A and B are shown apart, each in its own frame.
Chain A
Amino acid sequence: MRESVIEIRNLYKSFGDNDVLRGVDLDLYKGENLVVLGKSGSGKSVLIKILVQLLKQDEGYIKILGKDLSKLNLRELNQLRLKIGFAFQASALYDSMTVRENLEFPLTRNVKNLSRKEIDYKVERLLDSVGLPNTINQMPSELSGGQKKRIGVARTLILNPEIMFYDEPTAGLDPITCIDINNLINQVREEYKTSSIVITHDLTCAKVTGDRMAVLVKGQFKAVGSFEDVFENASDPNIKSFYDYNFIK
Chain B
Amino acid sequence: MKDKRPVLSKKLDNFFRGLADAFAFVKRFFQEVWFPPYEFKEILRQCYEIGYRSLPLISLTGFIIGIVFTNQSRPSLAEFGATSWLPALISIAVVRALGPLVTALIAAGKVGSSIGAELGSMKVTEQIDAMEVSAINPFKYLVITRTLATTFMIPVLVMYTDFVALMGSFINVNQNELVSLSTFFVQVFESISFLDIFSSVIKSLVFGFTIGIVGCYKGYNSTKGTEGVGQAANSSVVMSMFLIFIEELLALQIVNAIRYA
On A, residues with C-beta under 8 Å from B are: 12, 14, 16-17, 49, 52, 54, 58-59, 78-79, 81-82, 84, 86, 88-90, 92-95, 105-106, 109-110, 155-156, 159
A90 adjacent to B126 (CB under 8 Å): yes
Do the beta carbons of B127 and A95 come within 8 Å of each other? yes
User: Is there an interface contact between B129 and A88, defined as CB atoms closer than 8 Å?
Assistant: yes
> Given A14-B2, A16-B4: A92 and B127 within 8 A (CB)?
yes
Give the Cβ gap from B239 to chain A, nearest Cβ, in Å.
25
Q: Which residues of A contact B121 (CB under 8 A)?
A: 95
Q: Is the CB of A110 within 8 A of B136?
A: yes
Contacts of A14 in B (CB 8 A): 1-2, 4
Bound-complex Cα distance A82 to B132 (A): 10
Q: Are A90 and B125 in contact (CB under 8 A)?
A: yes
Does B136 contact A92, Cβ atoms closer than 8 Å?
Answer: no
A140 to B1, CA, bound (A): 42
Instruction: Pick from B1, B37, B127, B135: contact of A78, CB below 8 A.
Output: B135
**CA–CA, A33 to B136, complex, Å?**
27
Alpha-carbon distance between A58 and B125 when the two chains are bound, in angstroms = 25
Contact residues, B130-150 vs A (CB, 8 A): 130, 132-136
Whether A12 pairs with B1 at a CB distance below 8 angstroms is: yes
Known: A58-B1, A81-B133, A86-B129. 13 other contacts (CB 8 A): A16-B4, A52-B133, A81-B135, A86-B133, A88-B129, A92-B125, A92-B126, A94-B122, A94-B130, A105-B134, A106-B136, A109-B136, A155-B134
| B130/A86 in contact, CB under 8 A | yes
**Distance, CA A35 to CA B4, complexed state (A):** 32
Pick the contact of B136: A16, A89, A105, A156 (CB < 8 A): A105
Contact status A17-B4, CB under 8 Å: yes
Chain B interface, number of residues (Cβ within 8 angstroms): 16
Closest 5 CB pairs of A and B: A78-B135, A106-B134, A92-B130, A92-B126, A86-B133
Contacts of A12 in B (CB 8 A): 1-2
What is the CB-to-nearest-CB distance from A83 to chain B, in angstroms, rounded to a whole number? Answer: 10
B90 CB, nearest partner CB in chain A, Å: 41
Which residues of the other chain, A, contact B122 by a CB distance below 8 angstroms?
94
What are 25 A-to-B residue pairs whose CB atoms are below 8 Å? A12-B1, A12-B2, A14-B1, A14-B2, A14-B4, A17-B4, A49-B129, A54-B129, A58-B2, A59-B1, A59-B2, A79-B135, A81-B134, A81-B135, A84-B133, A88-B126, A89-B126, A90-B126, A92-B129, A94-B122, A94-B127, A95-B127, A105-B134, A106-B136, A155-B130
Nearest Cβ on chain A to B189's Cβ, whole angstroms = 43
A58 to B4, CA, bound (A): 12
Q: Which of chain B's residues has its CB closest to A51's CB?
A: B133
- Given contacts A17-B4, A59-B1, is CB(A110)–CB(B129) below 8 Å? no
Question: For B134, what are the chain A residues with a Cβ–Cβ distance below 8 Å?
Answer: 81-82, 105-106, 109-110, 155-156, 159
CA distance A158 to B161 in the complex (A): 47
Please report the C-alpha to C-alpha distance between residue A81 and residue B135 in the assembled complex, in whole angstroms: 6
Shortest beta-carbon distance from B206 to chain A in Å: 28
A94 and B121 CA atoms in complex are apart in Å by 11
Interface 0/1 of B1-17, CB less than 8 Å to A? 11010000000000000
Known: A12-B1, A14-B4, A16-B4. A110 touches B135 (CB 8 A): yes
Contact residues in A for B125 (Cβ distance below 8 Å) = 90, 92, 95
CA distance A159 to B2 in the complex (A): 37
User: Closest CB of chain A to B122's CB: distance in Å?
Assistant: 8
Q: Indicate the member of B121, B127, B134 with the most A CB atoms within 10 Å.
A: B134
Which residues on B sit within 8 Å (CB–CB) of A155? 130, 134
Residues in A with CB closer than 8 Å to B133 are: 52, 54, 81, 84, 86
A54 to B129, CA, bound (A): 7
Which has the most chain A C-beta neighbours within 10 Å: B122, B126, B127, B133? Answer: B133
Q: Closest approach, in angstroms, between the C-beta of A74 and any C-beta of chain B? A: 9
Contacts of B136 in A (CB 8 A): 105-106, 109-110
Most central of A58, A92, A105 by chain B CB within 10 Å: A92
A3 to nearest B CB, angstroms? Answer: 23
Residues of B within 8 Å of A16, CB to CB, are 4
